[in-house]
Structure formats: structure tokens, C-alpha cells
Amino acid sequence: GAVVSQHPSRVICKSGTSVKIECRSLDFQATTMFWYRQFPKQSLMLMATSNEGSKATYEQGVEKDKFLINHASLTLSTLTVTSAHPEDSSFYICSARDTNPTGELFFGEGSRLTVL
């Protein structure tokens, strides 16, 4: 089946630095990808919708300048956490929809960010 891959799976960075997380659809093209954030023992919260060739759409309360999203190609979306702070530490997961009739949504393995 379709696979979505995220990289890196784990990243530790110093406060004030920027971190980039990649989300790739490995065997299908995705004009739209989605970025979620998950706090410990909580559910997933949608952060933004990444649109290939255009600006991302952010959910209410998500800082656009803090979480930069770029959807450079039909198989790659990146999330950059800029000037990271400890409160940005979280589990970030992306998803992409296969264009087949079932409309199944596939999720990446997630990326755990720890900001020291």
C-alpha cells in the first residue's frame, strides 16, 4: 500500500535554532499533505494543510511564522520549526491522501522534536 515517510524520526536541538522535518509520499503523488501535532498522552491536532505550489493553510491559533511549511513537489512537504523553544517539543505527524477511490489517508511515522 501507499507509504508516507517522515525524516528525521527524532531530533534534538538547542533553543533558538531551526529544525526542518520532511514528509514524503513514497509511491503516490499528493497535492495536499497535512501536518499534525501531538502532545504526550493527547490526541492529534491539525496544524496546517500543505498545498503543492501554493501557500499552506494554517489552523486557528497556529503561528505561520513559527511553523513554516513548504510543499515543493508532489511528493514532498517540509515543516520548519523556526527559533525553536522548549514548548515546541512535541510529536509531529504528517499525512497525505492517496487519490484512489477509497480516499484512504496515510500517516507518516512521526517526528519527535525535543528542544533543550
Which residues of this protein are in contact with another protein, per CB under 8 A? 6, 32, 34, 36, 41-46, 49, 91, 93, 95, 97, 102-110, 112
Tell me the closest approach of the beta carbon of residue 42 to another protein, in angstroms: 7
To another protein, the closest distance from the beta carbon of 32 in angstroms equals: 6
Instruction: Tell me whether residue 74 or residue 110 sits nearer to another protein (CB atom).
Output: 110
- State how far the Cα of 94 lies from the Cα of 108, in Å rounded to an integer: 5
Minimum Å distance from CB 75 to another protein? 17
Q: Which is nearer to another protein, 34 or 67 (CB)?
A: 34
Closer residue to another protein in complex, CB, 45/74: 45
Q: How far is the CB of 84 from another protein (least distance, A)?
A: 19
Sign of CA dihedral 64, 45, 33, 21: positive
